[in-house]
Structure 1
Amino acid sequence: MQGKKLYQEKLFSSFQLSHRVPENNFYRRLKEVLDLSFLYKKTQSYYGSCGQKSIDPVVFYKLCLVGYLENIISDRKLIEHCSMRLDILYFLGFDIDEELPWHSTLSRTRQLFPEALFEQVFTHVLSMCVEKGMVAGHTQAIDSAPIKANASMDSLELKVPEEELEAYLQKARYQSREDRKPKENKAPKKTTNNYSK
């Protein structure tokens, strides 16, 4: 008999993220080894003593780390992406029914902290990952991608004055011609004497 799956949202459900995220998941392993509690002391001087509570600095830096690891540069897209991934929610310490911070909160918080603090956090996180064996220094790789330029040809400017253009083009043609010439062998050629007596 053919089965047919019907979806109906439950009013109440029993669900635990820790049961759904596999033991070998990267973000689960990262959550276990990454202790960012030092951030509370490092960032305390950037906050006032009254008013509404800010985003937790640990959550903020974890979001920055996720953006780096997932190659997401837009705060809006980062929050959308995180809200759909159970392993990332678990890493951040959020449950499935909890709202993530607004993307604008990330932008404002990023402007609050100096660049030196970001570098310190990055170095600290990297050293912790090396200690736990998650990162090794035996392989290095550089990633790149060709990106098509989005520029109008009409916006290009002539960098050489018009009256000097012909001389410039001749010089460029000459240099190009010289580059195409085969390199001469520097060994001395033997000469023969063709004089007849």
Structure 2
Amino acid sequence: MQGKKDYQEKLFAQFQLSERIPKENFYRRLKEVLDLDFLYELTRSYYGSSGQKSIDPVVFFKLCLVGYLENIISDRRLIQHCSMRLDILYFLGYDIDEELPWHSTISRTRQLYPESVFEQVFTRVLCMCVDKGMVSGHTQAMDSAPVKANASMDSLELKVPKADLGAHLEKIRHISSMDKKKAR
């Protein structure tokens, strides 16, 4: 007999986000590894002592990290994407019924910090990931695509005088062969 699923929206009687995220999930593992409490001291001088509370600096930098990892450059798209992913909500420390910050808040906060703060955060986060074995330096990857050249051979300019060309090519071949020997 053919079944048919009828969807009826319910209020969750009991729901824990942490139970829905698999133990091997990348963002769950990242949440366990990253201790970003140093951000409170690092960013304290960029805030006043009165007025409305800002976005939590830890949440802001986690959002920046998610944007980088998910290849999202639009703050509006980043917030939309994060609000749809349970694992990212868990990583950010938000529950399923909590609203994420406005995209404009992300943009304004990004302008608040100088480049040096971002560099310090990047360095500390990278070190934490290396220390926990999430990142290692033994593999190098390159993304490329062959592109057909669109240049006329007549337009090429020879940078070495024709008289010295033979000696120049021999020197380059020698350097290239030395590099190949070192690589072995």
Q: TM-score, normalised by structure 2?
A: 0.78
Give secondary structure in 1 for the equivalent of 2:8.
coil
Give secondary structure in 2 for the equivalent of 1:140.
coil
1:21-170 superposed matches below 5 A = 21-144=21-144
Q: Which amino acid aligns with 1:114?
A: P
Distance change (3 Å), C-alpha of 1:175 and 1:34: closer
1:2 deviates by 1.6
**After the TM superposition, which segments of 4 or more aligned residues of structure 1 sit over 2 Å from their partners?**
142-147, 172-176
1:145 deviates by 6.1
Give the Cα–Cα distance (whole angstroms) in 1 for the partners of residues 122 and 70 of structure 2: 16
Give the Cα–Cα distance (whole angstroms) in 1 for the partners of residues 71 and 144 of structure 2: 12
Give the Cα–Cα distance (whole angstroms) in 2 for the partners of residues 174 and 3 of structure 1: 69
Unpaired segments of 5 or more residues in structure 1? 148-171, 177-182, 185-197
Distance change (3 Å), C-alpha of 1:3 and 1:52: same
Q: Report the identity percentage.
A: 79
1:11 deviates by 3.2
Distance change (3 Å), C-alpha of 1:36 and 1:144: farther
Give secondary structure in 1 for the equivalent of 2:40.
helix
Give secondary structure in 1 for the equivalent of 2:14.
coil
Q: Which amino acid aligns with 1:136?
A: S
Distance change (3 Å), C-alpha of 1:173 and 1:133: closer
Distance change (3 Å), C-alpha of 1:40 and 1:174: closer
Residue-pair matches, total = 155
Give secondary structure in 2 for the equivalent of 1:24.
coil
Unpaired segments of 5 or more residues in structure 2? 148-153, 159-164, 167-184
Structure-1 residue corresponding to 2:19? 19
Structure-2 residue corresponding to 1:154? none
Distance change (3 Å), C-alpha of 1:145 and 1:125: farther
1:13 deviates by 2.8
Give the Cα–Cα distance (whole angstroms) in 2 for the partners of residues 146 and 68 of structure 1: 25
1:175 deviates by 5.9
Q: Which has the larger radius of gyration?
A: 1
1:111-138, CA deviations, whole angstroms, 9 ceiling, x for partnerless residues? Answer: 0000000000000000000000000100
1:174 deviates by 8.9
Q: Which has the higher helix share?
A: 2
